[in-house]
Amino acid sequence: MTGIPDSVSVQSVSLEADRLSCIRDDRVLFEDLSFAVSSGEAVVLEGRNGTGKTSLLRILCGLRRPDEGEVRWHGAPIEKNYVDYYTHMAFVGHMDGIKRELSALENLRISRSLCGAGDMSIEQALETLHLDGYEDIPTYYLSAGQRRRVALARLLATNARLWILDEPFTSLDREGIALVENLMDRHVGAGGAMIMTSHHEVHLSTPDVRILNLSPGEAA
């Protein structure tokens, strides 16, 4: 795997959501939603179940088209700028996105091949998430929490500057949640950015945490 030059790994983050609206089964989940995320910022989406948090994240990833509006990465629509965007964005959704027949190592290797390798090696990424000793066994034999950690290790092993996370703490134990919060702080502190949803209270020490509430008429 060839190294990515340093200039790429310090790429700044600039994501703009411009007047997005999402309609699902004739129901308007949100409309005219605009916000921007740049380096050093963390956005936490809040809202009751069914208010469109996951739909919004999938729109930001380009997996779903907004019914109106557009998402821009460094000023260009993400569909046009997809190589640059997808090299610097990583998404961990409800599904872990890892193959159970393959080991953690093999899974992360293919992720790096699809999205670009980061500064951290796969072994280092797995070690950071306390998965050392489990690199070589099929993830089929891991617990749900451990599989979640493999999925999250993808954030470290690839070159992602923008993390889009849908309920990242699912199945993690208390120690794991603290660990991941710590990684988030470090990532945002180092000029990365993050957009996430969570049912748990998120404890970040980053100064720039914004709460975006999708349930209108409800106190945040």
Partner 1 sequence: MTSGRAFLDLLRRDLLLAMRRRSELANPMLFFVMVIVLFPLGVGAEPKLLEQMSSGVVWVAALLAALLTLDSIFRSDFEDGTLEQILIGAHPVPMLVLAKVIAHWLVTGLPLLLVAPVLATFLGMNPEAIGVLMLSLLLGTPVLSLIGSIGVALTVGLRRGGVILSLLVLPLYVPVLIFGAAAVDAAASGMPVTGQMYILAAFLVLAVTLAPLAAAAALRISLS
CB nearer partner 1, residue 99 or residue 210? 99
What's the CA gap between 129 and 148, in Å, rounded?
A: 10
User: Which tokens go with 13?
Assistant: 């983050």
What's the CA gap between 99 and 73, in Å, rounded?
A: 29
Nearest to 196 by CA among 131, 216, 183: 183
CB nearer partner 1, residue 140 or residue 189? 140
User: Which tokens go with 120?
Assistant: 């951290």
List beta partners, residue 51.
Answer: none
Q: Footprint of partner 1 on residues 53-92 (CB under 8 A)?
A: 58, 61-65, 82-83, 86-87, 89, 91
Q: Does 99 bind partner 1 (CB under 8 A)?
A: yes
Nearest to 38 by CA among 11, 57, 56: 11
CB nearer partner 1, residue 2 or residue 7? 2
Give me the least distance between CB of 168 and partner 1, in Å please: 14
Give me the least distance between CB of 203 and partner 1, in Å please: 27
Binding mask 11-50 for partner 1 (x = CB under 8 A): ----------------------------------------
Residue count of the chain, please give it.
220
Give me the least distance between CB of 214 and partner 1, in Å please: 19
The number of angstroms, rounded, from the C-alpha of 117 to the middle of its chain's C-alpha atoms is 16
Binding mask 112-151 for partner 1 (x = CB under 8 A): -xxxxx--------------------x-------------
Question: CB under 8 Å to 9, separation ≥6 — which residues?
Answer: 118, 119, 159
Residues lying near partner 1 in the complex (CB under 8 A): 1-2, 4, 58, 61-65, 82-83, 86-87, 89, 91, 93-102, 106, 109-111, 113-117, 138
